[in-house]
Chains A and B, each alone.
Chain A
Amino acid sequence: MPEAPTFAQPDPSALLLPFAGSRREIAEYEANGGYDSLRKSLGMTSEQIVDEMIASNIRGRGGAGFPAGKKASFLAQGVDRYLVVNGDESEPGTFKDREIILRNPHMLIEGIIIYLWMIRGAGAYIYIRGEYAKEAAILEGAIAQAREKGYIGSPLPGTDYVANVYVHRGAGAYICGEETALLSSLNGERGQPTAKPPFPAVSGAFKKPTLLNNVETVATVPIILGMGGAAYAGVGTEQSTGTKMFSLSGHARHTGNYEMPLSATYRDLIEGKGGGVPEGRTLKAFVPGGSSMPILMPNQLDTGLAFEAVVAAGSMAGSGAVIVVDDRTCMVRFALRTAEFYMHESCGKCTPCREGTRWIAELLRKQEMGLGTLEEIDLLLDICNRVEGNCLCVLGDACAMPVRSHINNFRHEFEEHCRLGRCSCPDDAPMSELYPPLLKAPLPMVAH
């Protein structure tokens, strides 16, 4: 079995991962210009670094797409300020941060040290999902190498500032990718979201002002300082600058991570890089940005990868996780598997999400088994509307939005399940073994 996901061919147009294989050794990283941006930043003021980030117009790579430069400028003043790097990467279909850590860990570490210097931070914590044991060990190794070189743990050249960087491993909870839940978890609580305000920029890690960014965003900081914010802004589109990692999975021929300029389209990614669906099959739909996003249809393949283009197409770019769905897939089953995940991951704090995700999953299971009714299809849409926008965080929305899109785009499949009293997919259709008809009794239809 292939061990590490590495690219055999270099990609000269890429900025984050232009080389084949990995560069985990600091000597190799430095031989290719590594830590030059850090040295450059040491001659810059905090404001100058923030200004470069603003000029780059880079939007956060974690999912929400908030302008990263603006976020940096919001950080409250204070003696103890912290940088927290979000490596919880748990949105189904997403595996990009992992590839950055596996192949180019020092680029992330360099970005962290530049950001720490920018905020004169008391320390940085990389919150990495617990399942990424190997990736956590690689980061610990990179930190140890940077420490040996004097970038961490001793005053940075020509300054009296000391950068401290720690790896903090999660323990298996999707919700900890949400910023306030992540901070609850880092602060030693159950990983539940909290109300905003206070925003993390005012009260975050250890109740101190905290700058919180995704792994990919922070790893891009050395690139932006290296080439200059304005030059970075020249890549991609006006509103979505630079390159971004896209995780391609599902029924594409060549699945994996691809770094794409944000001026490219889903067709470039799915057909160009991914080779489309296998011979003899046709594209049924595709998830544009993680399982929480409304699904897009084959006639939307020419949609741009840029944040604004996906919104115009009726969905969101999210984390950049693209799941390709071919014609053999039962969309009721697809919706059910999606909803079950969010039901499992709901933290239970807000009633609409805790109850709503459960009801959505239970009604979808009835639908898939052919025990549902036409009225319940509308009931499902009604529950989706009641969940969305009514909770502290967007986990409930993450369940409601895709399910609504599955029903709206494939209502005929739901109606067919009701009419036939069963799923008409062949036995070897995807995900059939998870839902063997009549073997699995429906869950009791009671709230609990």
Chain B
Amino acid sequence: MSDTLYDEIQREIAKYPDRRSAILPALRHAQEHYGWLSPEALEAVADGLDLPPARCLAVASFYDMFFLQPVGEHVVEVCTNLSCAMIGADRLLREFERELDVKAPGTSADGKITLRCVECMGGCGWGPVVSVDEDYEEHFQIEDVAPLLERLRSTSRPSESHA
């Protein structure tokens, strides 16, 4: 287990009167380190929190933002909830699927980009909203799809972007 992840988890624990409350931040740090919550990552979280790995998995599996399977270098999420769907998110999603040649949820054949649809992200007034590596792109139009994918294909995910 990496020392820095262990240290990060201890810093999170210090914010709470009960170490169990640090499980979400600990899982987030582990996902940033390992790319997804692999069995190894969950072991690291369990060690850092002094909790059983099964409990870490039980909590992680409840939340949509934790990946229990490997994902691409970049994650593109299209909001398909009411407000975005009503103004074209549906066509946007199909365009992403066509460009990436993958059905959401899925990862492009080169392993570079994971596409999935998500529920309301709270950008409804500026929709359709697309989240790219946890960064919102608003008023996203069909003609923005190809340039975005071009950019993502040529860059690696900035690690620890929100640590």
A binding-site residues for B, Cβ under 8 Å: 1-3, 5, 80, 89-95, 98, 122-123, 129-134, 136-137, 166, 168-174, 185-192, 206, 247-251, 255-257, 287, 291, 321, 323, 325, 329, 334, 337-338, 341, 344-345, 347, 430-434
Q: What are the residues of chain B within 8 A of A334 when measuring CB–CB?
A: 82
Q: What are the residues of chain A within 8 A of B38 when measuring CB–CB?
A: none
Digitize B119-143: 1 where CB-to-A-CB distance is under 8 Å, 0 elsewhere.
1111111110001001111111000
Q: Smallest Cβ distance from A389 to chain B, in angstroms? A: 24
Q: Pick out which of these stretches binds chain A: B1-9, B55-63, B106-114.
A: B55-63
Question: A431 with B85: in contact, given A170-B63, A188-B23, A249-B127 (CB under 8 Å)?
Answer: yes
Q: How large is the interface on B (under 10, 10 to 19, 20 to 34, 35 or more residues)?
A: 35 or more
Q: Smallest Cβ distance from B103 to chain A, in angstroms? A: 12
Q: Smallest Cβ distance from A45 to chain B, in angstroms? A: 27
Bound: A90/B119 CA distance, A: 9
Q: Which of A168, A171, A187, A345 contacts B18 (CB 8 A)?
A: A187
Bound: A291/B66 CA distance, A: 25
Q: Smallest Cβ distance from A268 to chain B, in angstroms? A: 17
Question: A249 with B124: in contact, given A187-B18, A188-B59 (CB under 8 Å)?
Answer: yes
Which 3 interchain pairs have the tightest Cβ spacing?
Answer: A188-B20, A172-B64, A433-B90
Counted as pairs of residues, one from A and one from B, with CB atoms less than 8 Å apart, the total is 170
Asked whether A249 lies within 8 Å of B63 as measured between CB atoms, the reply is no
17 contacts between A and B (CB under 8 A): A89-B122, A92-B124, A93-B124, A94-B120, A133-B161, A169-B25, A171-B65, A172-B63, A172-B66, A187-B21, A249-B127, A250-B86, A334-B82, A341-B119, A430-B85, A430-B88, A433-B94
Q: What are the residues of chain B within 8 A of A94 when measuring CB–CB?
A: 120, 122, 124
Asked whether A90 lies within 8 Å of B64 as measured between CB atoms, the reply is no
Question: A93 with B27: in contact, given A132-B122, A174-B119 (CB under 8 Å)?
Answer: no
B binding-site residues for A, Cβ under 8 Å: 15-18, 20-25, 27-28, 58-59, 62-66, 80-83, 85-88, 90-91, 93-94, 118-127, 131, 134-140, 144, 161-162
Residue from B22, B23, B136, B144 whose CB has the most chain A CB atoms within 10 Å: B136
Bound: A226/B28 CA distance, A: 39
Asked whether A188 lies within 8 Å of B15 as measured between CB atoms, the reply is no
Q: Smallest Cβ distance from B90 to chain A, in angstroms? A: 4
Q: What are the residues of chain A within 8 A of B20 when measuring CB–CB?
A: 187-189
Q: What are the residues of chain B within 8 A of A257 when measuring CB–CB?
A: 125
- Besides A1-B144, A431-B90, 10 new A-B residue pairs in contact (Cβ under 8 A), listed by A number: A94-B120, A98-B122, A131-B131, A171-B65, A172-B66, A206-B17, A206-B18, A250-B124, A341-B81, A433-B90
Bound: A248/B124 CA distance, A: 8
Q: Which of A134, A248, A338, A345 contacts B125 (CB 8 A)?
A: A248
Q: What are the residues of chain A within 8 A of B93 when measuring CB–CB?
A: 433-434
Q: Smallest Cβ distance from A208 to chain B, in angstroms? A: 8
Asked whether B24 lies within 8 Å of A170 as measured between CB atoms, the reply is yes
Question: A337 with B63: in contact, given A136-B162, A249-B127 (CB under 8 Å)?
Answer: no
Q: Smallest Cβ distance from B48 to chain A, in angstroms? A: 13
Asked whether B120 lies within 8 Å of A93 as measured between CB atoms, the reply is yes
Asked whether A133 lies within 8 Å of B134 as measured between CB atoms, the reply is yes
Residue from A1, A5, A247, A321 whose CB has the most chain B CB atoms within 10 Å: A1
Asked whether B137 lies within 8 Å of A1 as measured between CB atoms, the reply is yes
Asked whether B119 lies within 8 Å of A431 as measured between CB atoms, the reply is no
Closest chain A residue, CB of each to CB of B124: A249
Asked whether B83 lies within 8 Å of A250 as measured between CB atoms, the reply is yes
Asked whether A130 lies within 8 Å of B85 as measured between CB atoms, the reply is no
Question: A1 with B62: in contact, given A249-B125, A323-B83 (CB under 8 Å)?
Answer: no
Question: A5 with B125: in contact, given A206-B18, A251-B87 (CB under 8 Å)?
Answer: yes
Residue from B20, B27, B140 whose CB has the most chain A CB atoms within 10 Å: B20
Closest chain A residue, CB of each to CB of B162: A133
Asked whether A2 lies within 8 Å of B63 as measured between CB atoms, the reply is no
Q: What are the residues of chain A within 8 A of B85 when measuring CB–CB?
A: 337, 430-431, 434
Bound: A186/B16 CA distance, A: 10
Q: What are the residues of chain A within 8 A of B25 when measuring CB–CB?
A: 168-169
Asked whether A345 lies within 8 Å of B119 as measured between CB atoms, the reply is yes
Q: Which of A2, A321, A338, A430 contacts B124 (CB 8 A)?
A: A321
Q: Smallest Cβ distance from A191 to chain B, in angstroms? A: 6
Closest chain B residue, CB of each to CB of A333: B85
Asked whether A186 lies within 8 Å of B21 as measured between CB atoms, the reply is yes
